[in-house]
Structure 1
Protein backbone atom coordinates (compact mmCIF):
# COMPACT_ATOMS: atom_id res chain seq x y z
CA UNK A 1 0.00 0.00 0.00
CA UNK A 2 1.33 3.41 -0.88
CA UNK A 3 1.96 6.06 1.69
CA UNK A 4 -1.14 8.21 2.19
CA UNK A 5 -1.16 11.69 0.70
CA UNK A 6 -3.10 12.97 3.67
CA UNK A 7 -1.42 14.84 6.53
CA UNK A 8 -0.57 13.19 9.77
CA UNK A 9 -0.68 14.51 13.30
CA UNK A 10 1.27 17.74 13.90
CA UNK A 11 4.42 17.55 15.94
CA UNK A 12 4.00 17.76 19.69
CA UNK A 13 5.37 21.27 19.82
CA UNK A 14 3.12 22.70 17.12
CA UNK A 15 0.23 24.95 18.01
CA UNK A 16 -3.19 23.75 16.89
CA UNK A 17 -4.28 27.38 16.76
CA UNK A 18 -1.95 27.87 13.76
CA UNK A 19 -3.91 25.36 11.69
CA UNK A 20 -6.26 26.77 9.07
CA UNK A 21 -9.98 26.19 9.45
CA UNK A 22 -10.88 22.87 7.79
CA UNK A 23 -12.16 23.19 4.24
CA UNK A 24 -15.37 21.19 3.82
CA UNK A 25 -16.08 19.39 0.56
CA UNK A 26 -19.39 18.28 -0.93
CA UNK A 27 -19.95 14.56 -1.57
CA UNK A 28 -22.46 12.54 -3.56
CA UNK A 29 -25.77 11.45 -2.06
CA UNK A 30 -24.71 7.81 -1.92
CA UNK A 31 -21.13 8.42 -0.82
CA UNK A 32 -21.74 6.53 2.43
CA UNK A 33 -21.81 3.22 0.57
CA UNK A 34 -18.26 3.88 -0.58
CA UNK A 35 -17.31 4.63 3.02
CA UNK A 36 -18.81 1.32 4.11
CA UNK A 37 -16.94 -0.54 1.37
CA UNK A 38 -13.67 1.03 2.53
CA UNK A 39 -14.57 0.15 6.13
CA UNK A 40 -15.12 -3.47 5.14
CA UNK A 41 -11.63 -3.53 3.63
CA UNK A 42 -10.22 -2.12 6.87
CA UNK A 43 -11.95 -4.84 8.84
CA UNK A 44 -10.65 -7.58 6.56
CA UNK A 45 -7.14 -6.18 6.90
CA UNK A 46 -7.30 -6.17 10.71
CA UNK A 47 -10.21 -8.32 11.94
CA UNK A 48 -8.77 -8.82 15.41
CA UNK A 49 -8.56 -5.14 16.32
CA UNK A 50 -11.92 -4.29 14.76
CA UNK A 51 -13.75 -7.13 16.49
CA UNK A 52 -12.08 -6.23 19.79
CA UNK A 53 -13.74 -2.82 19.71
CA UNK A 54 -16.99 -4.37 18.48
CA UNK A 55 -16.93 -6.74 21.44
CA UNK A 56 -16.47 -3.76 23.76
CA UNK A 57 -19.59 -2.14 22.30
CA UNK A 58 -21.56 -5.37 22.70
CA UNK A 59 -20.34 -5.88 26.27
CA UNK A 60 -21.34 -2.37 27.28
CA UNK A 61 -24.77 -2.87 25.75
CA UNK A 62 -25.24 -6.13 27.65
CA UNK A 63 -24.17 -4.52 30.92
CA UNK A 64 -26.69 -1.70 30.48
CA UNK A 65 -29.61 -3.96 29.64
CA UNK A 66 -28.75 -6.39 32.45
CA UNK A 67 -28.20 -3.88 35.24
CA UNK A 68 -31.30 -1.84 34.39
CA UNK A 69 -33.61 -4.63 33.24
CA UNK A 70 -36.14 -3.79 35.98
CA UNK A 71 -36.15 -0.07 35.17
CA UNK A 72 -36.55 0.08 31.45
CA UNK A 73 -37.30 3.77 31.45
CA UNK A 74 -33.69 4.20 32.52
CA UNK A 75 -32.40 1.51 30.18
CA UNK A 76 -33.82 3.27 27.14
CA UNK A 77 -32.13 6.51 28.15
CA UNK A 78 -28.84 4.78 28.85
CA UNK A 79 -28.92 2.84 25.59
CA UNK A 80 -29.53 6.08 23.68
CA UNK A 81 -26.75 7.68 25.70
CA UNK A 82 -24.54 4.75 24.78
CA UNK A 83 -25.17 5.59 21.12
CA UNK A 84 -24.53 9.29 21.75
CA UNK A 85 -21.09 8.41 23.12
CA UNK A 86 -20.35 6.23 20.09
CA UNK A 87 -18.11 8.78 18.29
CA UNK A 88 -15.81 8.98 21.31
CA UNK A 89 -15.81 5.22 21.87
CA UNK A 90 -14.82 4.70 18.21
CA UNK A 91 -11.57 6.64 18.58
CA UNK A 92 -9.49 3.45 18.43
CA UNK A 93 -11.25 2.36 15.25
CA UNK A 94 -10.40 5.66 13.61
CA UNK A 95 -6.77 5.12 14.50
CA UNK A 96 -6.74 1.60 13.03
CA UNK A 97 -8.02 2.98 9.72
CA UNK A 98 -5.53 5.83 9.92
CA UNK A 99 -2.63 3.43 10.46
CA UNK A 100 -3.65 1.32 7.47
CA UNK A 101 -4.12 4.43 5.32
CA UNK A 102 -0.56 5.48 6.16
CA UNK A 103 0.73 2.18 4.77
CA UNK A 104 1.39 0.64 8.17
CA UNK A 105 0.22 -2.66 9.57
CA UNK A 106 -2.53 -1.69 12.08
CA UNK A 107 -1.51 -2.27 15.68
CA UNK A 108 -4.23 -2.59 18.33
CA UNK A 109 -1.94 -1.41 21.13
CA UNK A 110 -1.27 1.84 19.28
CA UNK A 111 -4.99 2.47 18.83
CA UNK A 112 -5.61 2.08 22.56
CA UNK A 113 -3.64 5.28 23.19
CA UNK A 114 -4.85 7.11 20.09
CA UNK A 115 -5.59 10.73 20.74
CA UNK A 116 -3.19 11.08 23.66
CA UNK A 117 -1.34 13.77 21.67
CA UNK A 118 -4.54 15.86 21.71
CA UNK A 119 -6.12 14.66 24.93
CA UNK A 120 -7.26 18.13 25.98
CA UNK A 121 -9.46 18.78 22.93
CA UNK A 122 -10.80 15.22 22.85
CA UNK A 123 -11.50 15.44 26.57
CA UNK A 124 -13.50 18.65 26.09
CA UNK A 125 -15.55 16.97 23.38
CA UNK A 126 -16.11 13.93 25.59
CA UNK A 127 -17.40 16.19 28.38
CA UNK A 128 -19.81 17.83 25.92
CA UNK A 129 -21.16 14.41 24.90
CA UNK A 130 -21.53 13.33 28.52
CA UNK A 131 -23.47 16.50 29.36
CA UNK A 132 -25.81 15.90 26.42
CA UNK A 133 -26.22 12.29 27.56
CA UNK A 134 -27.17 13.36 31.08
CA UNK A 135 -29.67 15.92 29.77
CA UNK A 136 -31.14 13.26 27.47
CA UNK A 137 -31.50 10.82 30.38
CA UNK A 138 -33.43 13.46 32.32
CA UNK A 139 -35.55 14.33 29.30
CA UNK A 140 -36.35 10.64 28.84
CA UNK A 141 -37.65 10.40 32.38
CA UNK A 142 -39.78 13.51 31.87
CA UNK A 143 -41.32 12.06 28.71
CA UNK A 144 -42.16 8.84 30.53
CA UNK A 145 -43.66 10.75 33.44
CA UNK A 146 -45.81 12.96 31.21
CA UNK A 147 -46.94 10.59 28.49
CA UNK A 148 -46.70 7.01 29.73
CA UNK A 149 -50.19 5.93 30.77
CA UNK A 150 -49.29 3.19 33.24
CA UNK A 151 -46.52 2.46 35.71
CA UNK A 152 -42.95 2.47 34.46
CA UNK A 153 -42.74 -0.46 32.01
CA UNK A 154 -40.93 -3.75 31.95
CA UNK A 155 -38.96 -4.63 28.84
CA UNK A 156 -41.78 -6.83 27.50
CA UNK A 157 -44.46 -4.21 28.11
CA UNK A 158 -42.38 -1.46 26.55
CA UNK A 159 -41.66 -3.50 23.42
CA UNK A 160 -45.31 -4.53 23.21
CA UNK A 161 -46.38 -0.88 23.13
CA UNK A 162 -43.80 -0.07 20.48
CA UNK A 163 -44.68 -3.01 18.21
CA UNK A 164 -48.47 -2.61 18.53
CA UNK A 165 -48.36 1.22 18.42
CA UNK A 166 -50.19 1.53 21.72
CA UNK A 167 -49.97 4.91 23.45
CA UNK A 168 -49.12 6.75 20.24
CA UNK A 169 -48.71 10.07 22.08
CA UNK A 170 -45.90 8.63 24.18
CA UNK A 171 -44.17 7.05 21.19
CA UNK A 172 -44.31 10.28 19.20
CA UNK A 173 -43.06 12.40 22.11
CA UNK A 174 -40.24 9.97 22.86
CA UNK A 175 -39.25 9.78 19.19
CA UNK A 176 -39.22 13.57 18.78
CA UNK A 177 -37.12 14.16 21.89
CA UNK A 178 -34.72 11.37 20.96
CA UNK A 179 -34.42 12.69 17.40
CA UNK A 180 -33.51 16.17 18.67
CA UNK A 181 -30.70 14.90 20.89
CA UNK A 182 -29.42 12.38 18.35
CA UNK A 183 -29.41 15.02 15.60
CA UNK A 184 -27.50 17.43 17.82
CA UNK A 185 -24.79 14.89 18.56
CA UNK A 186 -24.61 13.57 15.02
CA UNK A 187 -24.26 17.06 13.59
CA UNK A 188 -21.53 17.98 16.06
CA UNK A 189 -19.55 14.75 15.65
CA UNK A 190 -19.59 13.88 11.93
CA UNK A 191 -15.88 14.66 11.56
CA UNK A 192 -15.01 16.13 14.97
CA UNK A 193 -12.95 13.38 16.59
CA UNK A 194 -11.19 12.33 13.37
CA UNK A 195 -10.14 15.97 12.97
CA UNK A 196 -8.84 16.12 16.53
CA UNK A 197 -7.03 12.82 16.06
CA UNK A 198 -5.52 13.63 12.68
CA UNK A 199 -4.62 17.32 12.98
CA UNK A 200 -4.69 18.15 16.70
CA UNK A 201 -7.57 20.50 15.92
CA UNK A 202 -9.32 22.10 18.90
CA UNK A 203 -12.79 20.92 19.97
CA UNK A 204 -14.71 24.06 18.97
CA UNK A 205 -13.24 24.17 15.47
CA UNK A 206 -13.87 20.45 15.01
CA UNK A 207 -17.52 20.79 16.06
CA UNK A 208 -18.03 23.76 13.74
CA UNK A 209 -16.46 21.82 10.86
CA UNK A 210 -18.86 18.95 11.56
CA UNK A 211 -21.88 21.23 11.55
CA UNK A 212 -20.74 22.85 8.31
CA UNK A 213 -20.25 19.38 6.80
CA UNK A 214 -23.84 18.54 7.64
CA UNK A 215 -25.07 21.88 6.31
CA UNK A 216 -23.31 21.42 2.98
CA UNK A 217 -24.16 17.73 2.65
CA UNK A 218 -27.61 17.27 4.21
CA UNK A 219 -28.83 14.48 1.93
CA UNK A 220 -25.76 12.19 2.06
CA UNK A 221 -25.24 12.68 5.79
CA UNK A 222 -28.91 12.14 6.65
CA UNK A 223 -28.73 8.90 4.68
CA UNK A 224 -25.57 8.00 6.59
CA UNK A 225 -27.33 8.77 9.90
CA UNK A 226 -30.26 6.55 8.89
CA UNK A 227 -27.90 3.68 8.10
CA UNK A 228 -26.18 4.09 11.49
CA UNK A 229 -29.58 4.03 13.23
CA UNK A 230 -30.60 0.89 11.34
CA UNK A 231 -27.31 -0.79 12.26
CA UNK A 232 -27.85 0.11 15.92
CA UNK A 233 -31.40 -1.26 15.92
CA UNK A 234 -30.21 -4.45 14.24
CA UNK A 235 -27.42 -4.80 16.77
CA UNK A 236 -29.74 -4.50 19.75
CA UNK A 237 -32.34 -6.76 18.09
CA UNK A 238 -29.72 -9.52 17.89
CA UNK A 239 -29.05 -9.29 21.65
CA UNK A 240 -25.94 -7.16 21.05
CA UNK A 241 -24.21 -9.78 18.88
CA UNK A 242 -24.71 -7.66 15.78
CA UNK A 243 -22.85 -4.78 17.42
CA UNK A 244 -19.64 -6.83 17.31
CA UNK A 245 -19.49 -6.40 13.54
CA UNK A 246 -21.72 -3.40 12.83
CA UNK A 247 -20.16 -0.88 15.22
CA UNK A 248 -16.60 -1.40 13.91
CA UNK A 249 -18.01 -1.05 10.39
CA UNK A 250 -19.54 2.30 11.36
CA UNK A 251 -16.36 3.43 13.10
CA UNK A 252 -14.08 2.67 10.17
CA UNK A 253 -16.58 4.20 7.74
CA UNK A 254 -16.65 7.39 9.81
CA UNK A 255 -12.92 7.78 9.27
CA UNK A 256 -13.42 7.50 5.51
CA UNK A 257 -16.31 9.96 5.75
CA UNK A 258 -13.89 12.42 7.35
CA UNK A 259 -11.39 11.94 4.54
CA UNK A 260 -14.12 12.52 1.95
CA UNK A 261 -15.64 15.57 3.65
CA UNK A 262 -12.51 17.48 4.73
CA UNK A 263 -9.96 18.82 2.28
CA UNK A 264 -6.40 17.65 3.06
CA UNK A 265 -3.93 20.21 4.35
CA UNK A 266 -1.91 21.79 1.55
CA UNK A 267 1.30 21.54 3.56
CA UNK A 268 1.36 18.22 5.47
CA UNK A 269 3.14 18.19 8.78
CA UNK A 270 5.17 15.44 10.35
CA UNK A 271 3.61 12.72 12.45
CA UNK A 272 4.33 12.09 16.08
CA UNK A 273 3.77 8.34 15.92
Structure 2
Protein backbone atom coordinates (compact mmCIF):
# COMPACT_ATOMS: atom_id res chain seq x y z
CA UNK A 1 0.00 0.00 0.00
CA UNK A 2 1.37 3.42 -0.92
CA UNK A 3 -0.24 6.47 0.59
CA UNK A 4 0.88 9.93 -0.48
CA UNK A 5 0.15 12.85 1.80
CA UNK A 6 1.50 15.61 -0.39
CA UNK A 7 -1.40 17.90 0.49
CA UNK A 8 0.16 18.29 3.94
CA UNK A 9 2.85 20.44 2.32
CA UNK A 10 0.19 23.08 1.68
CA UNK A 11 -0.12 23.62 5.42
CA UNK A 12 3.23 22.59 6.92
CA UNK A 13 6.89 22.88 5.97
CA UNK A 14 7.41 19.15 5.90
CA UNK A 15 10.78 17.40 6.07
CA UNK A 16 11.41 14.85 3.34
CA UNK A 17 10.57 11.28 4.31
CA UNK A 18 12.12 8.14 2.85
CA UNK A 19 10.65 4.82 1.78
CA UNK A 20 12.33 1.80 3.31
CA UNK A 21 12.43 -1.98 2.95
CA UNK A 22 10.20 -4.15 5.10
CA UNK A 23 13.15 -5.71 6.95
CA UNK A 24 14.65 -2.43 8.18
CA UNK A 25 13.05 -2.62 11.66
CA UNK A 26 15.23 -5.64 12.41
CA UNK A 27 18.27 -3.59 11.46
CA UNK A 28 17.10 -0.76 13.74
CA UNK A 29 16.93 -3.23 16.60
CA UNK A 30 20.49 -4.40 15.97
CA UNK A 31 21.75 -0.82 15.72
CA UNK A 32 19.82 0.12 18.85
CA UNK A 33 21.49 -2.67 20.82
CA UNK A 34 24.95 -1.62 19.63
CA UNK A 35 24.18 2.01 20.50
CA UNK A 36 22.91 1.11 23.97
CA UNK A 37 26.11 -0.79 24.67
CA UNK A 38 28.10 2.38 23.96
CA UNK A 39 26.53 4.12 26.98
CA UNK A 40 24.80 1.35 28.99
CA UNK A 41 24.65 3.05 32.40
CA UNK A 42 22.58 6.13 31.46
CA UNK A 43 20.46 4.07 29.06
CA UNK A 44 19.61 1.48 31.70
CA UNK A 45 18.83 4.30 34.11
CA UNK A 46 15.91 5.21 31.87
CA UNK A 47 14.87 1.56 31.90
CA UNK A 48 14.91 1.47 35.70
CA UNK A 49 12.92 4.71 35.85
CA UNK A 50 10.21 3.53 33.47
CA UNK A 51 9.98 0.15 35.23
CA UNK A 52 9.54 1.83 38.63
CA UNK A 53 6.87 4.20 37.30
CA UNK A 54 5.05 1.37 35.54
CA UNK A 55 5.23 -0.82 38.63
CA UNK A 56 3.84 2.00 40.75
CA UNK A 57 0.90 2.50 38.39
CA UNK A 58 0.03 -1.19 38.34
CA UNK A 59 0.39 -1.48 42.12
CA UNK A 60 -1.89 1.52 42.63
CA UNK A 61 -4.57 0.16 40.32
CA UNK A 62 -4.40 -3.57 41.03
CA UNK A 63 -7.59 -3.68 43.12
CA UNK A 64 -9.70 -2.11 40.37
CA UNK A 65 -10.16 -4.01 37.09
CA UNK A 66 -10.97 -0.88 35.12
CA UNK A 67 -8.00 1.06 36.45
CA UNK A 68 -5.64 -1.91 36.14
CA UNK A 69 -6.30 -2.58 32.47
CA UNK A 70 -6.44 1.13 31.65
CA UNK A 71 -3.15 1.72 33.47
CA UNK A 72 -1.43 -0.78 31.18
CA UNK A 73 -2.74 0.84 27.98
CA UNK A 74 -2.22 4.37 29.32
CA UNK A 75 1.34 3.45 30.22
CA UNK A 76 1.93 2.27 26.66
CA UNK A 77 0.51 5.54 25.29
CA UNK A 78 2.75 7.76 27.41
CA UNK A 79 5.90 5.63 27.59
CA UNK A 80 7.29 6.82 24.20
CA UNK A 81 7.62 10.32 25.66
CA UNK A 82 9.86 8.90 28.37
CA UNK A 83 12.33 7.81 25.70
CA UNK A 84 13.09 11.42 24.73
CA UNK A 85 16.11 11.43 27.02
CA UNK A 86 17.44 8.29 25.34
CA UNK A 87 17.38 10.09 22.02
CA UNK A 88 19.45 12.85 23.60
CA UNK A 89 22.08 10.31 24.66
CA UNK A 90 22.68 9.28 21.06
CA UNK A 91 22.55 12.89 19.88
CA UNK A 92 25.19 13.85 22.46
CA UNK A 93 27.46 11.03 21.36
CA UNK A 94 27.05 11.90 17.68
CA UNK A 95 28.02 15.49 18.49
CA UNK A 96 30.97 14.27 20.62
CA UNK A 97 29.56 15.88 23.75
CA UNK A 98 29.38 14.57 27.31
CA UNK A 99 27.07 11.59 27.57
CA UNK A 100 25.30 11.11 30.89
CA UNK A 101 21.83 10.61 32.31
CA UNK A 102 21.69 14.10 33.86
CA UNK A 103 23.08 15.76 30.74
CA UNK A 104 20.44 14.08 28.59
CA UNK A 105 17.73 15.39 30.94
CA UNK A 106 19.23 18.88 30.72
CA UNK A 107 19.37 18.77 26.92
CA UNK A 108 15.64 18.11 26.73
CA UNK A 109 15.03 21.75 27.66
CA UNK A 110 16.26 22.95 24.26
CA UNK A 111 12.91 21.98 22.75
CA UNK A 112 11.12 21.27 25.99
CA UNK A 113 8.08 23.39 25.18
CA UNK A 114 7.18 21.37 22.11
CA UNK A 115 7.88 18.07 23.87
CA UNK A 116 5.63 19.23 26.71
CA UNK A 117 2.90 20.14 24.23
CA UNK A 118 3.08 16.68 22.69
CA UNK A 119 3.04 15.22 26.18
CA UNK A 120 -0.18 17.12 26.93
CA UNK A 121 -1.74 15.70 23.76
CA UNK A 122 -0.76 12.16 24.73
CA UNK A 123 -2.02 12.73 28.27
CA UNK A 124 -5.37 13.93 26.92
CA UNK A 125 -5.59 10.83 24.74
CA UNK A 126 -4.81 8.65 27.77
CA UNK A 127 -7.46 10.42 29.86
CA UNK A 128 -10.03 10.04 27.08
CA UNK A 129 -9.20 6.34 26.86
CA UNK A 130 -9.54 5.97 30.63
CA UNK A 131 -12.99 7.58 30.55
CA UNK A 132 -14.10 5.47 27.59
CA UNK A 133 -12.84 2.34 29.35
CA UNK A 134 -14.67 3.35 32.52
CA UNK A 135 -17.93 3.57 30.59
CA UNK A 136 -17.37 0.20 28.91
CA UNK A 137 -16.49 -1.46 32.20
CA UNK A 138 -19.48 0.09 33.98
CA UNK A 139 -21.85 -1.17 31.30
CA UNK A 140 -20.46 -4.64 30.70
CA UNK A 141 -18.34 -5.87 33.62
CA UNK A 142 -19.80 -7.55 36.73
CA UNK A 143 -19.17 -5.41 39.78
CA UNK A 144 -17.90 -8.33 41.88
CA UNK A 145 -14.67 -8.56 39.87
CA UNK A 146 -12.26 -6.50 41.93
CA UNK A 147 -9.15 -8.65 42.29
CA UNK A 148 -6.36 -9.10 39.79
CA UNK A 149 -6.49 -12.85 40.54
CA UNK A 150 -9.71 -13.14 38.56
CA UNK A 151 -8.96 -10.61 35.83
CA UNK A 152 -7.48 -12.96 33.23
CA UNK A 153 -10.08 -15.68 33.76
CA UNK A 154 -12.90 -13.15 33.54
CA UNK A 155 -11.62 -11.39 30.45
CA UNK A 156 -11.19 -14.66 28.57
CA UNK A 157 -14.30 -16.34 29.93
CA UNK A 158 -17.75 -14.88 30.36
CA UNK A 159 -16.46 -11.40 29.50
CA UNK A 160 -14.92 -12.42 26.15
CA UNK A 161 -17.34 -10.27 24.06
CA UNK A 162 -16.40 -7.27 26.19
CA UNK A 163 -12.70 -8.11 25.84
CA UNK A 164 -13.02 -8.15 22.05
CA UNK A 165 -14.79 -4.78 21.97
CA UNK A 166 -12.38 -3.21 24.43
CA UNK A 167 -9.30 -4.62 22.68
CA UNK A 168 -10.54 -3.50 19.25
CA UNK A 169 -11.11 0.02 20.55
CA UNK A 170 -7.66 0.07 22.13
CA UNK A 171 -6.10 -1.26 18.93
CA UNK A 172 -7.56 1.58 16.85
CA UNK A 173 -6.36 4.15 19.39
CA UNK A 174 -2.92 2.54 19.58
CA UNK A 175 -2.55 2.65 15.78
CA UNK A 176 -3.42 6.34 15.78
CA UNK A 177 -0.96 7.17 18.54
CA UNK A 178 1.75 5.03 16.95
CA UNK A 179 1.35 6.85 13.62
CA UNK A 180 1.64 10.25 15.32
CA UNK A 181 4.61 9.38 17.54
CA UNK A 182 6.66 6.88 15.51
CA UNK A 183 9.26 9.54 14.66
CA UNK A 184 7.83 12.75 16.13
CA UNK A 185 9.39 12.46 19.60
CA UNK A 186 12.97 11.76 18.42
CA UNK A 187 12.48 14.49 15.83
CA UNK A 188 11.59 16.99 18.57
CA UNK A 189 14.62 15.88 20.56
CA UNK A 190 16.86 16.28 17.50
CA UNK A 191 15.51 19.44 15.82
CA UNK A 192 13.93 22.71 16.84
CA UNK A 193 10.63 22.10 15.08
CA UNK A 194 7.08 22.45 16.34
CA UNK A 195 5.17 19.42 17.57
CA UNK A 196 2.46 19.65 14.90
CA UNK A 197 5.02 19.45 12.10
CA UNK A 198 6.74 16.55 13.89
CA UNK A 199 3.46 14.65 14.21
CA UNK A 200 2.51 15.26 10.59
CA UNK A 201 5.96 14.10 9.50
CA UNK A 202 5.50 10.96 11.56
CA UNK A 203 2.09 10.39 10.01
CA UNK A 204 3.56 10.67 6.52
CA UNK A 205 6.52 8.40 7.30
CA UNK A 206 4.19 5.69 8.61
CA UNK A 207 1.69 6.08 5.76
CA UNK A 208 4.41 5.72 3.13
CA UNK A 209 5.98 2.65 4.79
CA UNK A 210 3.02 0.67 6.09
CA UNK A 211 4.51 -2.87 5.66
CA UNK A 212 7.76 -1.96 7.44
CA UNK A 213 5.93 -0.01 10.15
CA UNK A 214 3.60 -2.96 10.81
CA UNK A 215 6.71 -5.06 11.43
CA UNK A 216 8.13 -2.33 13.67
CA UNK A 217 4.89 -2.01 15.63
CA UNK A 218 4.79 -5.79 16.11
CA UNK A 219 8.35 -5.71 17.46
CA UNK A 220 7.45 -2.89 19.87
CA UNK A 221 4.36 -4.71 21.13
CA UNK A 222 6.08 -8.09 21.36
CA UNK A 223 9.10 -6.88 23.31
CA UNK A 224 6.95 -4.69 25.57
CA UNK A 225 4.74 -7.72 26.30
CA UNK A 226 7.87 -9.61 27.35
CA UNK A 227 8.70 -6.70 29.63
CA UNK A 228 5.30 -6.95 31.31
CA UNK A 229 5.49 -10.74 31.47
CA UNK A 230 8.67 -10.41 33.53
CA UNK A 231 6.90 -8.13 36.03
CA UNK A 232 8.48 -5.09 34.34
CA UNK A 233 12.02 -6.24 35.16
CA UNK A 234 12.63 -6.93 31.48
CA UNK A 235 11.70 -3.34 30.66
CA UNK A 236 14.93 -2.20 32.30
CA UNK A 237 16.72 -3.45 29.19
CA UNK A 238 13.88 -3.53 26.66
CA UNK A 239 12.80 0.08 27.09
CA UNK A 240 16.19 1.69 26.35
CA UNK A 241 16.81 -0.85 23.58
CA UNK A 242 13.59 0.21 21.84
CA UNK A 243 14.42 3.85 22.50
CA UNK A 244 17.79 3.61 20.76
CA UNK A 245 16.25 1.59 17.92
CA UNK A 246 13.54 4.25 17.48
CA UNK A 247 16.24 6.88 17.09
CA UNK A 248 17.65 4.96 14.12
CA UNK A 249 14.16 4.51 12.72
CA UNK A 250 13.72 8.29 12.79
CA UNK A 251 17.12 8.91 11.22
CA UNK A 252 16.35 6.53 8.37
CA UNK A 253 12.76 7.62 7.77
CA UNK A 254 13.31 11.41 7.88
CA UNK A 255 16.00 13.23 5.91
The TM-score, its normalising length taken from structure 2, stands at: 0.90
> Does 2:237 align with 1:242?
no
> Does 2:200 align with 1:208?
yes
Matched residue, 2:51: 58
In the TM superposition, residue 239 of structure 1 has moved relative to its aligned partner by: 0.8
- From 224, 242, 252, the counterpart of 2:244: 252
Q: Is this contact kept in 2: 1:140–1:174, CA < 8 A?
A: yes
Q: Is this contact kept in 2: 1:54–1:246, CA < 8 A?
A: yes
**Which whole-Å CA distance do the structure 2 matches of 1:166 and 1:103 have between them?**
58
The DSSP-based 3-state class of the residue aligned with 2:63 is coil
**Which whole-Å CA distance do the structure 2 matches of 1:31 and 1:45 have between them?**
21
Matched residue, 1:223: 215
In the TM superposition, residue 124 of structure 1 has moved relative to its aligned partner by: 1.1
Alignment of 1:117-266 (within 5 A): 117-149=110-142, 151-162=144-155, 164-263=156-255
In the TM superposition, residue 107 of structure 1 has moved relative to its aligned partner by: 2.0
In the TM superposition, residue 100 of structure 1 has moved relative to its aligned partner by: 2.4
Q: Is this contact kept in 1: 2:13–2:197, CA < 8 A?
A: no
- Considering only aligned residues, what root-mean-square deviation do their CA atoms show, in Å? 1.6
Matched residue, 2:29: 36
In the TM superposition, residue 86 of structure 1 has moved relative to its aligned partner by: 1.4
Bigger share in helix: 2
In the TM superposition, residue 102 of structure 1 has moved relative to its aligned partner by: 3.0
The TM-score, its normalising length taken from structure 1, stands at: 0.85
Q: Is this contact kept in 2: 1:187–1:214, CA < 8 A?
A: yes
Q: Is this contact kept in 2: 1:29–1:219, CA < 8 A?
A: yes
**Which whole-Å CA distance do the structure 2 matches of 1:222 and 1:95 have between them?**
26
**Which whole-Å CA distance do the structure 2 matches of 1:152 and 1:93 have between them?**
39
Matched residue, 1:269: none
Provide structure 2 residue ranges, at least 5 long, that are not aligned to the other structure.
1-11
**Which whole-Å CA distance do the structure 1 matches of 2:153 and 2:112 have between them?**
44
1:62-106 alpha-carbon deviations (Å, 9 max, x no partner): 101111111131021122111111121111111112222334452
Q: Is this contact kept in 2: 1:85–1:130, CA < 8 A?
A: yes
Q: Is this contact kept in 2: 1:139–1:177, CA < 8 A?
A: no
In the TM superposition, residue 150 of structure 1 has moved relative to its aligned partner by: 5.1
The DSSP-based 3-state class of the residue aligned with 2:74 is helix
The size of the alignment, in residue pairs, is: 244
